[in-house]
Structure 1
Amino acid sequence: MTQSSKQTPLPAGYRLAEYTIVRQLSVGGFSVVYLALDDEDRKFAIKEYLPRNLAERNVNDEVTVPLELDRDAFNLGLKCFFEEGRVLSGISHPTVVRVSNFFRANHTVYMVMEYADGRSLGKELELAGGKMPERQIRKWFAALLSGLREVHSQRLLHLDIKPANIYLRRNGVPLLLDFGAARQTLSRNAKHFAAMYTPGFAAPEQYEKDQPLGPWTDIYAIGACLYVCMGGATPPGARERGERDRLVPASQAFRHQYSRELTELCDRCLALPPNDRPATVLEVQKCLQQTEYSSPERPAAGEGNRLVGWIRGLTGGRHGKGTE
């Protein structure tokens, strides 16, 4: 994402309470995240509330709202951001990012989180050639959903689960990052924030103000992540699917590589009507924790040759070295 000039990051060396900014880690539609050190040289990630469509930074490094008409929306997002930090600070789970501090400064709010060494699931997929073994998918997502259950028990939703927000520590334990209470609140109160959703991972109800959100909303995103981890492209956006659903079901696309139980679970999670999805995160987790499941279907005679021919037709007969 291209950074707006309004989201000018705090400079390296800037003192923020008892922390020193080292560098910017990332920027999103409503926040900037920094790597910082405390006075004992421990690393932290600090998220700054700075919605690019509402606010900007002045020469004194303060966050200001240029248009008074945007003041109420900014304050609402600020309140939700602060509440999100308060709730997360009370959750101690190995797969949920830990919030150790949150405070006000520069006319905005900062959330201090653990800094974990590792890489995103998106990067891991890229290095793995675009798909993961079923055993690994089940292990990572079952662990992740354990943390998500804890989050939901605190009446907090994530609302932006995607491979870029699933981090894999060096020890292999997944970590759920970048919760979106403030982003979601702004998105549902102003049309120009709709782009803050992640197309393909956002559930249909996230685009509608009158549709309730709940655990089923995060379950849709989990389904989209499972689809991508099995080798699929990011699913079409929910609105596009609602008009004409071109998504090839996982149970059809990946039946030769993954078990029927996993592909059918993915399809249920990606159901457009919320009532057709698994009722709870626990239900999804239990499916993933099954130790006995069917083997992938074997291709029918000649089916593999037809598939190769179809792929060659799409690529004009070019040959290249692929990865498994």
Structure 2
Amino acid sequence: MSKVKPAPLSPETQIGGYRVVRKVAAGGFGVVYLAIDPEGQQVAIKEYLPASLVARGPGELLPQVTTEKLSLYRLGLKSFFEEGRSLAQISHPSVVSVLNFFRENETVYMVMNYLEGASLQDFIITARDQKQQKVFRESTIRSLFDEILRGLRIVHQHKMLHLDIKPANIFITDDNRSVLIDFGAAREVLSKEGNFIRPMYTPGFAAPEMYRRDAAMGPWTDIYAIGACIYACMQGYPPNEAPQRLEKDRLTTALARLRGVYSDNLIEVVEWTMALDPLSRPQSVFALQKELSREGERRYTKLSMAEKMRLQFDTMVADTKKSVKSVTGGVAVKPK
């Protein structure tokens, strides 16, 4: 039986001088509310409320934490608070603005600008469903990620990592700004401590090093996720997750199908950013920005007939293996 999620704060609850209007989102590590500030302006408030560590009933304010989980809860709380303090020092249109952060009800709240619009994930699903050759135009992809990289560069200059970049965490506002939201510092700290049961990564967008406790993470980790987001904008779907790629990497084959649709340069950028070896990726956002801005060198090399036939054959083989595996219940069948 699954654990009951902690209840969000009730509408009209007062916290830190803000009035909660309603819950707008919830994840494994917190709840986001639409609220009204003392001047009557709309704001978003994120409450630290890790679902695996706390309980809270409807109408209650205080999270209930058992003794054995208390040290882990406090560790994440400290990281969440430090994240709020660090983000409050960053002022960039492509990074979510933290207006205030405060402790109350034995947890921490982060007050941010309330953004109106939709996530990149929403746009990808809508564009994909139109079943056109291109999910997004190349000029749109380059422009969008140039904007996001400008913000990410500032984040890295402040010695911070995002650690959960994915289309759902790239917000496109109604006035056409691209904004990075939902940083993952508390998530990352908790993943390193104890036997924490929830995955700390988003499959397809998490770099291989995020699956290993002892691996060093840096700008190259966020850069892998940027590459995966560009891939999703080209294909309409996330790439295979890192463990699958380590076993059998089909990234080059998947990108080859896009030759002639997107430029060779953009395809090469995705391969570069999504290298399984962290040292083979761009080591800084600036290096990636420089490559992504090379619009004058676009070539669109189409697949030859032989290459098309080879790709078709590889796809048929892969599909056959999948169907055999599903029929045999995932047990490998050795041919006689």
Whether TM exceeds 0.5 here: the answer is yes
What's the CA shift for 1:305?
A: 9.7
- The residue correspondences of 1:169-318 to structure 2 (distance < 5 A) are 169-249=173-253, 251-300=255-304
Question: CA shift at 1:192, angstroms?
Answer: 3.3
Equivalent residues of 1:63, 1:107 under 8 A apart: yes
Query: Partners in 1 of 2:71 and 2:119 — Cα distance?
Result: 35
| Aligned residue number for residue 60 of structure 1 | 60
Contact 2:52/2:198 (8 A) holds in 1: no
User: What are the Cα deviations for residues 74-123 of structure 1, in whole angstroms up to 9, with x where unaligned?
Assistant: 11100100000000000000000000000011100000011111110011
- The answer to which of 294-303 and 236-245 deviates more is 294-303
| Secondary structure at the counterpart of residue 78 of structure 1 | helix
The Cα offsets for residues 24-77 of structure 1, whole Å up to 9 and x where unpaired, read as: 1111111111111112221111110011111122563101212x1211111110
- Residue 91 of structure 2: SS of its match in structure 1? coil
1:32 aligns with 2:31: yes
TM-score scaled by length of structure 1 = 0.89
8 Å CA contact 2:124–2:233 kept in 1: the answer is yes
The answer for the alignment partner of 2:20 in structure 1 is 21
Distance 1:225 1:306, change over 3 A: same
Q: Which residue of 2 aligns with 1:128?
A: 127
Contact persistence 2:61–2:105 (CA under 8 A):
yes
Distance 2:250 2:314 in 1: 18
Equivalent in the alignment of 1:102 = 101
**Relative to structure 2, which stretch is displaced further, 234-243 or 268-277?**
234-243
TM-score by length of 2: 0.86
2:171 corresponding residue in structure 1: 167
Distance 1:207 1:153, change over 3 A: same
2:39 partner SS: coil
Q: Is the 8 A contact 1:94 1:175 kept in 2?
A: yes
Query: Where do 5+ consecutive residues of structure 1 fail to align?
Result: 315-324
State the distance in 1 between where 2:248 and 2:309 align: 30
- Equivalent residue number for residue 322 of structure 1: none
Other structure's SS at 1:62 match? coil
Shift of 1:248: 4.0
- Alignment root-mean-square deviation, CA: 2.4
CA distance in 1, matches of 2:197, 2:150: 30
| SS in structure 2 at match of 1:128 | helix
Q: Given that residues 7 and 32 in structure 1 are in contact (C-alpha distance below 8 angstroms), is that contact kept between their aligned partners in structure 2?
A: no
* Structure 2 gaps, min length 5: 130-134, 320-336
Q: What is the DSSP-based 3-state SS (H/G/I as helix, E as strand, rest coil) of the residue aligned with 1:132?
A: coil
Inter-CA distance 57–72: structure 2 relative to 1 (3 Å threshold): same
Deviation at 1:301, TM superposition (A): 5.4
- Contact 1:88-1:98 within 8 A present in 2 as well: yes
> Is the alpha carbon distance of 1:21 and 1:134 closer, same or farther for their aligned partners in structure 2, counting shifts above 3 Å?
same
> Are the aligned partners of 1:250 and 1:264 in contact in 2 as well (CA < 8 Å)?
no
Question: Cα distance 1:311–1:249, how it changes in 2: closer, same or farther (>3 A)?
Answer: closer
C-alpha separation in 2, matches of 1:251 and 1:309: 16
Identity of aligned residues (%): 46
For 2:239, the aligned partner's letter is P
